[in-house]
Chain A
């Protein structure tokens, strides 16, 4: 092993738990496991943007305001040329290599460092969605919901094996750990036991424009309620990290001054400082060695290309839903099956959020390069009653209907000349519309025709779980390690398409009322018009594949996150989600990781209040 690819306690030899992945799931699990007295080995396939992360002083990272490094040369992203994935929209057609299903970044601290760190909670309804909707259908004549009732076989909804109330203390701890800003201005959010640690930061101009637009829209008799968007971004000095300076390089970029509560600088750093944790990065796990019911070691390839083994008493998968499921499928059991797959459910119920996207052009410059990418949004399109415990019943042509969409982000272009303007104008637009070169290109660049004028709203619509939406191993394509790549099979369900169609006119009104001209709806995420357009879902919100539930026949992991059929293997990322809700998933991943890891460590209580400084 290259000794430079290690952080934490290098002297540790025996590990109680080996965690695969160092992001929101794995980094948090390492934190809670170390707190619970376990010695932990973390294996991370990506590189390390924080040299000295285990040192006495929190180091400034190698992150910077650099469009070339992130948006063009994709420093944080997997290299699709070396580690491709394939995609198909149905099992009846051949899958093809598709870079859109390779989106989650890979580095110490995981993908969250690369997001604009939005951290809403799920609400009460989300944890008992199936039983609540079934009861509602039972007592509401004429109510039909795609994927429920007589249509139940088309989807695979399930209640979570825990309630909002059970997760609430972990949400509270997660918000304190990451350092979340926000206030109680979202009427549809479920009750919370304490305020968020910090108030909202400075509003963005485009967020205010869209909020004003939203206040003029009525959704079946109620006016929309724009709210500040909760985010794991400091608005004060907090946890030894400075307040955000609203540099604008937020979504798609790492944070140069550590104001963003990346798992690396919050939970993971605490684990590395505890003396109980060793992290090896550039360490790509390729197989879990097992006897069918027990994992003995993991095999990984280190930063020099050498194959290594790591042993531990227990193992935690936190490599993201697609990779966590792929690792099970890459690990044969002596009986010839895949690890943890006695139910045949591994890789199934893969969910994203269906993103409904309405855009428009504001005549004046919106300077999206100043801010946190998103400062405001609305939750009205989640389609729940205030408090988030019950679905809202809408009137639809004389009968009743339920439309569970999702939280909606108020954003726009981030003022990035190369990728917001240049590449779009020169390459993405049809000839005659775009600008290939010359004075036309230069004038349009100086106008910032897109980068300074395009506002954009995105609804993160709940995605129905389906058995047929899944990850398996591609039969022909192999990656640079010689291993079969993940094949994603995915098609949208009527559940989310109906919600999208219902809310799009209201979303269009929001954008129009904000003062936009030329308002347009982006084509659906999952648009299939082969051979011109084969569109994989390009949401980075990956969920499902290792569903958590009480029944070993219909779920992969038990309510404690342990595999039903492997006695020392756990999953601790978005893969265990039974349903996808309509809110950004990271805070729930962190809260659940705290709970699962606390269970692995013997249920020692996590401290209350803000965590101690590392």
Chain B
């Protein structure tokens, strides 16, 4: 059940407010014009420039739309940067930042996991025809087909359907253009913005402004841009960036730039590798999970047995093997103090809530 309900206390109540201006040295980024959005009944997209490369991608997209089968679009799968959005200096700041949010230790950190590539790929998705937002599937080829005769894994692997993307619908594309370029540039009707607290600032602008602010705070605190600081100083600056009031709240998202980067670090570390992060699935490996596991799954029906077999290494109805003693008793692997304190904190917080507001929890 996807229904974990915790006290949903807002960290900050978002409201209408002014937004920060973009970096004046950089021309405003505008989305390429697309006929898909131009057909909306209420408004037209702003005219926008097309680079030659964008034009070629757009032409390809039109051709794809015209074909009867509407094939999904293959985007080259690479561990490295493709379409560039960040300058080298911005990219260095971002890599340093994500590597302190998820620091390397015995397992890789955010930088090695490719989080910065994941973020750049999200921000440039429309430079590549708007593909890559939703990976297709159904299988990645990381597990084989089941052998239904024996109820065991077979030796046949499906092709990697995650390399293909699902084309966004018109509304989905409009939504993502607003997320990336801002609601005004995407052509969201002003009334819709007004009812939701004003225009949405695009993530592309937020990243440029935010990385500049990170370097400004680093320089004023420790004398150098963030990427050039020692790890210890980077952690000091990171804690400072997380202090209330240091970074402005994005009014529509109710989040600071740091919140947004943390969110993208989590996404980029633990989503399917085809999105650009979680390099070589090392994010999943450090958690001890398989990630996507179809078509094999965890129980395989066997015609020979007339019932299911479980995978001994990944049992479904019994405890994990590494927590089972030879006598069959369960020996839990202790959590770290960090994980344990989060569990305790949730319990105490909920009890506190029920004490302060009787009836909230009972």
Q: Which residues of A contact B (CB under 8 A)?
A: 2-4, 47, 51, 60-69, 71-73, 75, 79, 81-84, 97, 116, 201-205, 208, 235-237, 242-249, 251-252, 256-257, 282, 301, 303-307, 355, 357, 359, 361, 363-365, 367, 369-371, 373-374, 409, 411-415, 417-420, 422-430, 432-450, 453-454, 456, 458, 476-482, 501, 504, 517-525, 527, 529, 531-533, 535, 538
Tell me the bound Cα distance from A116 to B332 in angstroms: 29
Cβ A430 vs Cβ B103 within 8 A: no
Please name all residues of chain A whose beta carbon is closer than 8 Å to the beta carbon of B286 when the two chains form the complex: 445-446
Please name all residues of chain A whose beta carbon is closer than 8 Å to the beta carbon of B11 when the two chains form the complex: 427
Q: Could you say which of B76-84, B221-229, B311-319 contacts chain A? A: B311-319
Cβ B8 vs Cβ A247 within 8 A: no
- Identify the closest chain A residue to B324 (Cβ): A364
Cβ B195 vs Cβ A476 within 8 A: yes
Q: Which residue in A61, A282, A369, A411 is a CB contact (below 8 Å) of B289?
A: A369
Cβ A201 vs Cβ B101 within 8 A: no
Q: Which residue in B4, B69, B316, B341 is a CB contact (below 8 Å) of A454?
A: B4
Please name all residues of chain B whose beta carbon is closer than 8 Å to the beta carbon of A423 when the two chains form the complex: 263, 266
Please name all residues of chain B whose beta carbon is closer than 8 Å to the beta carbon of A523 when the two chains form the complex: 5, 7-8, 350, 353-354, 360-361
Please name all residues of chain A whose beta carbon is closer than 8 Å to the beta carbon of B166 when the two chains form the complex: 62, 75
- Identify the closest chain A residue to B118 (Cβ): A68
Please name all residues of chain A whose beta carbon is closer than 8 Å to the beta carbon of B136 when the two chains form the complex: 62, 64
Cβ B323 vs Cβ A365 within 8 A: yes
Against A, the Cβ 8 Å flags (1 = close, 0 = not) of B258-281 are 010011011100111001000000
B362 at the interface (CB under 8 A from A): yes
Smallest distance from the beta carbon of B326 to chain A beta carbons, Å?
A: 16
Known: A447-B340, A453-B343. 4 other contacts (CB 8 A): A2-B65, A61-B138, A205-B318, A432-B345
Q: How large is the interface on B (under 10, 10 to 19, 20 to 34, 35 or more residues)?
A: 35 or more
- A418-B271, A504-B362 in contact; A370/B316 too (CB < 8 A)? yes
Contacts between chains A and B (CB distance < 8 A), count: 382
Main secondary structure of the interface of A (DSSP, over half): loop
- Identify the closest chain A residue to B291 (Cβ): A65
Smallest distance from the beta carbon of A306 to chain B beta carbons, Å?
A: 6
Q: Which residue in B72, B137, B298, B348 is a CB contact (below 8 Å) of A245?
A: B298
Cβ A518 vs Cβ B343 within 8 A: yes
Please name all residues of chain B whose beta carbon is closer than 8 Å to the beta carbon of A448 when the two chains form the complex: 287-288, 339
B40 at the interface (CB under 8 A from A): yes
Smallest distance from the beta carbon of B179 to chain A beta carbons, Å?
A: 8
Cβ B345 vs Cβ A429 within 8 A: yes
Cβ A357 vs Cβ B170 within 8 A: no
Smallest distance from the beta carbon of B163 to chain A beta carbons, Å?
A: 12
B338 at the interface (CB under 8 A from A): yes
Smallest distance from the beta carbon of A471 to chain B beta carbons, Å?
A: 18
Cβ B275 vs Cβ A68 within 8 A: yes
Cβ A68 vs Cβ B235 within 8 A: no
Smallest distance from the beta carbon of B125 to chain A beta carbons, Å?
A: 11
Tell me the bound Cα distance from A61 to B166 in angstroms: 11
Tell me the bound Cα distance from A433 to B335 in angstroms: 16
Cβ B287 vs Cβ A428 within 8 A: no
Q: Which residue in A65, A425, A447 is a CB contact (below 8 Å) of B336?
A: A447
B57 at the interface (CB under 8 A from A): no
B133 at the interface (CB under 8 A from A): yes
- A305-B39, A447-B336, A449-B343 in contact; A64/B294 too (CB < 8 A)? yes
Cβ B293 vs Cβ A438 within 8 A: no
Please name all residues of chain A whose beta carbon is closer than 8 Å to the beta carbon of B155 when the two chains form the complex: none
- Identify the closest chain A residue to B344 (Cβ): A518
Against A, the Cβ 8 Å flags (1 = close, 0 = not) of B12-31 are 01000000000000000000
Please name all residues of chain B whose beta carbon is closer than 8 Å to the beta carbon of A414 when the two chains form the complex: 1-2
Cβ B293 vs Cβ A65 within 8 A: yes
- A65-B137, A82-B175 in contact; A532/B10 too (CB < 8 A)? yes
A-B contact pairs, 25 of them (CB 8 A): A71-B2, A73-B133, A81-B192, A82-B188, A202-B316, A202-B317, A248-B298, A249-B294, A282-B169, A359-B4, A364-B331, A411-B1, A429-B349, A433-B346, A434-B345, A436-B262, A437-B102, A444-B338, A447-B336, A456-B1, A456-B3, A480-B171, A480-B188, A520-B351, A522-B361
Cβ B308 vs Cβ A201 within 8 A: yes
Give the 4 A-B CB pairs with smallest separation, nearest first.
A245-B297, A64-B137, A447-B339, A305-B39
Please name all residues of chain A whose beta carbon is closer than 8 Å to the beta carbon of B301 when the two chains form the complex: 235-237, 242-243
Smallest distance from the beta carbon of A546 to chain B beta carbons, Å?
A: 26
Please name all residues of chain B whose beta carbon is closer than 8 Å to the beta carbon of A415 when the two chains form the complex: 289
B9 at the interface (CB under 8 A from A): yes
Tell me the bound Cα distance from A179 to B136 in angstroms: 26
- A67-B270, A256-B138, A529-B357 in contact; A373/B1 too (CB < 8 A)? yes
Cβ B1 vs Cβ A374 within 8 A: yes
Smallest distance from the beta carbon of A226 to chain B beta carbons, Å?
A: 14
Please name all residues of chain A whose beta carbon is closer than 8 Å to the beta carbon of B271 when the two chains form the complex: 66-68, 72, 418
